[in-house]
Structure 1
Amino acid sequence: MNNKSWLANCQLNHLAKLRLFCFPYAGGGAAIFRSWQDFLPTQIEVCPVELPGRGLRLMEAAFTQLIPLVEAIAPALLPYLNKPFALFGHSMGALIAFELACKLCQAYNQSPIHLFISGRAAPHIPERSPIYDLSDAEFLEGLRRLNGSPQEVLDNAEYMQLLIPTLRADFTMADTYTYTPKPPLKCPITAFAGLQDPEASADNIKAWQQYTSTSFSMHLFPGDHFFINTAKQLLFPTLSQELEQSLRSVKI
C-alpha cells in the first residue's frame, strides 16, 4: 500500500509549522475536510487521511478492525512527522486518532502536540446500539435512527448501494472496538461535541479527560452528531486557538 495514498488529498505546504491529520466519521472520506484549510491559520497544514474503501481509494477493501487499520496508518505517516503534528478525528475517526496517537508514542516515540476528539464517547464506553451485523434494510434504518450518516447520503439509493460495504465495515470497526488499557497520553486532549448529539453526551465526552496526563478541555456546540458541518463558524475559531496555543508551547 503506497504511503502517499493515505494523504492523496493533502496539499503539502512546506512553510507550515504544524500538520493536522484528520480522520473521518463512518462512511466519510478525506473530502469532508477539503475546505478546512481555508478556515484555519496558514501555519497549519490540513492533512486529511484517506482510508481504504472511499474517495480515491474506493476500489480498495475497507478495514473491519480498528487496530490493524491503525497499524497500517502509523508507518505510512512517519515520513510526514518531521514537524510538529496534531490529530483530529470525528466519531469513528476519534477512535482512530486516539489509537494512532498511542501507537505512534509507544512504537515510534512520536507524540502529537495535541489530540482533538469530536463526537465520540471515551474509549471505555461501549456503543449503545450496535448495527453492523443487521440486514441491509435494518442497517439503513439503524443509520437513520442513530443519525450516523448525513441525510443526503442516506437518501441517495444508488450511492448507498455503492457505499454500504464501506459503511458496514466502518460500523463493524467502531461497534466491535474494545479498549485495551494503556498509559495516558502526554499531549493535551480537546474534546468537541454537539449539544443535541444523543450518542456523545457531555458526560461521555468529559470522560476523555482520563486519557491524558496533561491538560484537557471540552467544547460543546449547537447541533447534533454532525455539528462539525453545521457549526463551523464556532468550531474553526476554537480549533485554531487550541492549535496555535499548542504550537507556541513547542520549540521549533
Structure 2
Amino acid sequence: MSSKPYPLVCLPFAGSGAGFYRSWAEIPTNGITVLPMQLPGREELFLDDPFTDVIEAAAYLATRIADLTAEMPSFGLFGHSLGAVLCYEIARELERAGHRGLAHLYVSGSPGPCNGRDIRATGLDDAGFLERVQEFAGYRHEAFDDPGLRELLLPVLRADVAMHENYKPAPEAHLRVPVTSLRGEEDALVTREHALQWRDVTEADFTYLELSGGHMYLVDSPEVLLRTIAGS
C-alpha cells in the first residue's frame, strides 16, 4: 500500500447524494482528493429507481469504484451511517474480486455492521417517519419543511432508511484492510461502544477517533474530519 495522501471515495448517508461531498473539493485537505459516489434516485440520477438492498447497492458501486480507481495505486473509502455499511460491503466486494487498491476503510457514525437499530422508522406515516429520522440524526434538513421538496425527496429517504434498517451482513471472513471508526463525541444515536464494534470486522489495524459534535458532526466541520483522516 502506498502512503497517504490518497484519493478518498465518499459514499452518501441516507437521503443525501454526491453533491454533499462535492463541496469538500474546495476544502484544504493535506492533499486528499475527494471522489464522491452517486446513488440512483437523486440529483443527476433522479429518474433512476433507488436501491432498497445494501448488498445489491454495494455490488453495483464496487464495480464503478473498481473502474474509477483502476489506475490509482491506492485509495480510501469513507461513509457515514448508511454510507458506512455500504463502504463495508463494497470493501468486501472489492476484496472478493481481487481489486488491490483499497488502502483504508473509514466508517463514521455507525455501529458495527452486525448490529442494527432496535427502534425503526420504516413503516411510519410521513410525519412520524420524519420525526423519527430527525430523532436518529439530531438533524433535520430544511428541505423537508418545504411541501414540494418534501414530496420530491421523501421517497429516496424512505428507500435509504429501509435499506439500512433491513440490512443483515452475511457471516464471512474479516477484511484485510485497516479500519478507522469515527464518531461525534456528543452522538446520542451511536455510542462509543457501538463505534468500537468495527474493530471486529478486520484482521488489520483498527483505530477509533472522536470528533467534536453530534451524529451529524461532518455537516458542521468537514474540514476537521478531512484533516483528521489525513493525519490518522
Normalised TM-score (structure 1): 0.84
Contact 1:111 1:187 in 2 (8 A): no
Contact 1:52 1:61 in 2 (8 A): yes
Choose from 198, 211, 216 the match for 1:221. Answer: 211
Matched, 1:112 2:102: yes
Q: Which residue of 1 aligns with 2:33?
A: 45
Matched, 1:28 2:38: no
What's the offset of the Cα at 1:153?
Answer: 3.1
State the secondary structure of the residue aligned to 2:102.
coil
Q: Which residue of 2 aligns with 1:161?
A: 151
What's the offset of the Cα at 1:233?
Answer: 4.3
Distance 1:232 1:78 in 2: 26
RMSD over aligned CA atoms reads 1.8
Matched, 1:91 2:81: yes
Q: Measured at CA, do residues 144 and 213 of structure 1 come closer, stay the same or move farther in structure 2, by a change above 3 Å? A: same
Q: Which residue of 2 aligns with 1:146?
A: 136
Distance 1:113 1:207 in 2: 20
Residues 42-73 of structure 1: per-residue CA shift (max 9 Å, x gap): 3x321100101111111111001110111111
Q: Which residue of 2 aligns with 1:80?
A: 68
Contact 2:12 2:18 in 1 (8 A): yes
**AA in 1 matched with 2:113:** P
Distance 1:123 1:225 in 2: 17
Q: Which residue of 2 aligns with 1:57?
A: 45
Normalised TM-score (structure 2): 0.91
Matched, 1:71 2:54: no
Distance 2:223 2:53 in 1: 34
**AA in 2 matched with 1:65:** D
What's the offset of the Cα at 1:94?
Answer: 0.4
Contact 1:24 1:30 in 2 (8 A): yes
**Which consecutive residues of structure 2, in runs of 5 or more, have no partner in the other structure?**
none
Q: Which residue of 1 aligns with 2:178?
A: 188
Matched residues, percent identical?
31
Distance 1:77 1:235 in 2: 22
Q: Which residue of 2 aligns with 1:249?
A: none
**Which consecutive residues of structure 1, in runs of 5 or more, have no partner in the other structure?**
1-15, 243-252
What's the offset of the Cα at 1:217?
Answer: 0.8
Q: Measured at CA, do residues 127 and 111 of structure 1 come closer, stay the same or move farther in structure 2, by a change above 3 Å? A: farther
Aligned residue pairs: how many? 226
**AA in 1 matched with 2:203:** S
